[in-house]
C-alpha cells in the first residue's frame, strides 16, 4: 500500500453524516460510536463525534484531489444540494482558481469545507 494521509473531520451526528455522504457515493468502511471511515473509491474521510459542534462556526476542512473533477462534481450534484453562499450543506460550481487549478467546494452538514481540486496535468489545470 502507498503512503497516504486521510482527513479527520467532526460529525455532530455520525448516522446523519454517514447518510449525507452516502448520497455522494461514499460507503462505510468502518463505523462505531467513536470513529467512522467513509470511502468513495480512493477517497477516504474519517470522522470523530463532536456533538457540541456548531456547523455555522466550523473551521474544519480537507482537500480532495482528483483526476476527473467534472465527474466528481456531476456525481455530487445528484444529491441536489443548494449552491447559494449561505446554506449548510451546499455545493459550489467548479471554477479556475487564481492558483491555476480548477476547484469546487462542498460544505457538509457539520460545516466542514471539502475543497475538491482537479489534479494538474489532467485537463483540470490551466497550462
pLDDT in tens, 45-62: 999 999 999 999 999 999
If 0-12 CB within 10 Å is exposed, 13-18 middle and 19+ buried, where does residue 125 land? middle
3 pLDDT more than 60 = yes
pLDDT for 1:
58
Cβ neighbours, 10 Å, residue 29: 12
125 pLDDT more than 70 = no
**115: Cβ contacts below 8 Å, ≥ 6 apart:** 61, 62, 63, 64, 103, 105
pTM score: 0.91
pLDDT for 126:
44
118 pLDDT more than 90 = yes
Fold of 7-118: 2,3-Dihydroxybiphenyl 1,2-Dioxygenase; domain 1 (3.10.180)
Amino acid at each position: 500500500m502507498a503512503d497516504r494521509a486521510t482527513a479527520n473531520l467532526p460529525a455532530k451526528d455520525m448516522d446523519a453524516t454517514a447518510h449525507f455522504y452516502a448520497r455522494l457515493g461514499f460507503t462505510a468502511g468502518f463505523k462505531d460510536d467513536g470513529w467512522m471511515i467513509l470511502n468513495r473509491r480512493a477517497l477516504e474521510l474519517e470522522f470523530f463525534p463532536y456533538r457540541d459542534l456548531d456547523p455555522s462556526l466550523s473551521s474544519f476542512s480537507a482537500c480532495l484531489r482528483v483526476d476527473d473533477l467534472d465527474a466528481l462534481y456531476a456525481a455530487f450534484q445528484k444529491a441536489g444540494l443548494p449552491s447559494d453562499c449561505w446554506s449548510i450543506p451546499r455545493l459550489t460550481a467548479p471554477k479556475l482558481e487564481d492558483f491555476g487549478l480548477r476547484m469546487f467546494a462542498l460544505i457538509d452538514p457539520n460545516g466542514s469545507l471539502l475543497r475538491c481540486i482537479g489534479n494538474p496535468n489532467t485537463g483540470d489545470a490551466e497550462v
